[in-house]
Amino acid sequence: MRVQQLQERGFIALMALLMTVTALGTDIMMPALSQMSQDFHLGHANQIQLVIAVIFFGMALGFCIYGPLSDAFGRKPILYLGLSIYIVGSLLAIFTTHFNVLLFARVLQGFGAAACRIIPGVMIRDKFSGDRMAQIYSLIMVLFIIEPAVSPSIGQAFLLFSDWRFLFVVLLVLGIVCAFLVWKYQEETLAKEKRIPLNTKNILSGVKTTLTHPVSVGYTLISGLIAGAFTAYLSTAQQILQSHYQLGAHFPLVFGVLALCIGIGSYFNSKLVMTFGMNRMSLWGAGTQCVLSLFLALYMLSSRELSLTSYLLYLSVTLFTIGMLFGNLNSLALEPMGEIAGIANSVISGIQALMSVFVGIAIGYFYSDSAFPLIAGFFITSAVSVVYLRYLARFSDRQNSVSM
């Protein structure tokens, strides 16, 4: 029993580390955005947001292929493939002198890092199910969230003796280390007899099953909206906190503390989800976010000013609810797809990522030296999510009644 517990903890730690490949690629760059904007002589202040946003576009492209490939060839070989592409993207970013090439490198990084988001989720689904799967997701999120709590400060520290290019060296090393740890310590979770041959018929069948399952599609769309608002927060965090609220060198520390709120929310969810269930916890999280965002949006419409303290308190609660939502919504979307977990996770994650890019860019586009567009964006996405969550809860109840 002791050995099994140690193995499970090791698995959780490795899955969390793999997921940091995507998160570190955004968070460690936050303090360097101003420097990058100056080096590339960008003409529009909001243009630098693309360095953060386009990595999600690359992830969306990667999500479309890694699931089916992992169902056919196993989980580990596809992790190696994704990490290799991530390493190539990091190398390109280190040596480029053109902003458009940098954006292409970021797309490559996202495309490769998508394997580190898809495959851990599928491995978790291979080993766990139901509320236990959501609990594991939440525990992984707790470890995963330590990274954004410290990485902006690490990025800021590196910038004291180097420039933004060194940050891509850090990402390069991370990709190499992750590949080694997977090779050394992680066993294959998909038995050969359970693999699905890679052909058009099987892929199209899996995609059709996922896209026509009302519960899976519903939770996918909700998670895409929530992820979109969160992407907008990441894209505008440096402009709002460091520039508008003039936090200066204190920005990485504040950003890290805010990131801890996501981890606390995930831990809170891991303790309660087995009692209250994923849907109810998600409804509470989205509802809290909706009410608070509406209140502050109306306040800003009347006074057009929000103090730094009020804004930080708002972000703390909002990010806490996001910590509750992410693990639950992903689990709820993937739960009905056990037999085609790889293909389903690709479809689900691809839709989530594309929505996060377009919603995040749309919200960020309206930034004009005010936090109002972000708060309004959180209100709209959470309000739609609450309505849809209530519908899905009633739909599931009707389905259960029919089944009985």
pLDDT of amino acid 338:
63
pLDDT above 80: residue 135 = no
Domain count, the chain: 1
Q: Is residue 401 part of a domain?
A: no
* Torsion angle in degrees (nearest 10) through CA of 372, 103, 67, 144: -60
Q: Is residue 193 part of a domain?
A: no
Query: In the Cβ-directed half-sphere of 178, how many Cα atoms lie within 13 Å?
Result: 32
pLDDT digits (tens, 9 = 90+) for 322-363: 988 877 887 788 777 766 766 777 788 788 878 888 898 889
pLDDT of amino acid 320:
93
pLDDT above 80: residue 89 = yes
The more confidently predicted of residues 92 and 355 is: 92
Q: Is residue 383 part of a domain?
A: yes
Is the CB of residue 86 less than 8 Å from the CB of residue 94?
no
Helix extents (H) in 238-277: 251-276
Q: Is residue 381 part of a domain?
A: yes
pTM of the model: 0.72
Q: Is residue 192 part of a domain?
A: no
Q: Is residue 17 part of a domain?
A: yes
Is the CB of residue 128 less than 8 Å from the CB of residue 101?
no
Per the structure, the complete domain to which residue 297 belongs is given by: 2-184+199-396
The CATH number of the domain holding residue 9 is 1.20.1250.20
pLDDT above 90: residue 112 = yes
> Which of 312, 215, 198, 225 lies closest to 261 in space, CA to CA?
312
Which residue is associated with the tokens 């690629």?
25
Q: Is residue 391 part of a domain?
A: yes
* DSSP H or E segment with residue 197: none
Q: Is residue 403 part of a domain?
A: no
pLDDT above 70: residue 1 = no
pLDDT digits (tens, 9 = 90+) for 292-314: 999 999 999 887 778 899 999 99
